[in-house]
Amino acid sequence: MDEKKIAFVFPGQGAQYVGMGKDVYESFRDVRLLFEKAEGVLKFDLKKLCFEGPAEKLKLTSLAQPAILVVSLSVLEALKILAPDISPQVVAGLSLGEYSALAFAGAIGFEDAVRLVYKRGEFMEEASRLHPGGMVSLLGLNYETVENICRESRAEIANLNCPGQIVISGTQEALEKAVNLAKEKGVKKAIYLEVSGPFHSSLMSSASKKLLVELNRIEIRTPRVPVVSNVTAYFENTPREIHTNLVNQINHPTRWEESVRFMVDGGVTLFLEIGPGKVLSGLIRRIDSSLEVYNIETVQDIKVFLEKIGMA
């Protein structure tokens, strides 16, 4: 393992599912303590929400965000216990997942991260009520084409995920116009995403301003492991950079493909997606099929990973 450069990456909203985290919760006392700490901040039964749902409630932005963060960091805790010698040279997360990365890197305390993402979800829900809209994934078009479509439709580019997959955001009217234009340009598929608002667009500016106030209330520290920002697809090395990027992340595009390529250019060959779902693993393989990618969300996943790398 010494010769491999490892990145830990953490999933964003949409990765949640009923039952997530239950395996590691039942297996480790330290994970149970994490849930207790989180529930002390949130003042509701996070275990029940994650393990029993209902799914409709777990989809709510203000609930999904802390749930995914806590489950991701719980899986990370299990990995630390079972594989203490596995450590990353760099970390990143998609949108919400960046908070998991920053918490792991020691830049934001656990309770502060839980509180922040809960508030972030509330602010995004409020902004969505003020400016209703949604998001659409466009498959098979290049950046320039989508940029022109957005200019004409008044939609906005929200996520640059992987080759041939760009997500746009905006009002329903803007999205309908954009989808029609995309069909004229030969889009392979246009998929309306199951989200409650026009995330990562200028319509989220009110949420960005409210998050700024919350970020001013917490201590942000220099990360002990390099963290790659969604907004810049580059390292965020100082508390000031982290603060600025988290504020901007809400109403600017996430640059996941660029972030992965930046890590690969820095020598990363092994990615561990830590947390619920397999979205990032799929995106990373589409960005570069030569990369070694593992999804880690259960005790069995950790054991399989250790076997495959010869550390079982």
Measured CA to CA, the distance from residue 73 to residue 92 in angstroms comes to 13
Q: Label the pairing between strands 165-170 and 134-139.
A: antiparallel
Catalytic one of 72, 74, 95, 201: 95
Residue 86's φ and ψ, nearest 5 degrees, are: -90, 115
| DSSP-assigned beta bridge partners for residue 165 | 139, 162
Return d(Cα 19, Cα 9) in angstroms, integer: 21
Query: By C-alpha distance, which of 257, 272, 229 is closest to 88?
Result: 272
Q: How far is the CA of 236 from the CAs of 18, 245, 307, in angstroms?
A: 33, 8, 34
Tokens standing for residue 176:
């309908």
User: Which residue matches tokens 């982290």?
Assistant: 242
200 included as an active-site residue: yes
- The alpha-helical segments, DSSP class H, found in 154-278 are 172-184, 205-215, 239-249, 256-265
Q: What is the dihedral of CA 262, 289, 92, 307, to 10 degrees?
A: -130
* Sign of the CA dihedral with 107 first, then 61, 79, and 249 last: negative
Rg (C-alpha) for the chain, rounded Å, is 19
Provide the residue type at 137 as one letter: S
Q: How far apart are CA 265 and CA 242, in angstroms?
A: 22
Sign of CA dihedral 51, 10, 230, 101: positive
Residue in 62, 74, 200, 201 annotated catalytic: 200
Active site residues: 95, 200
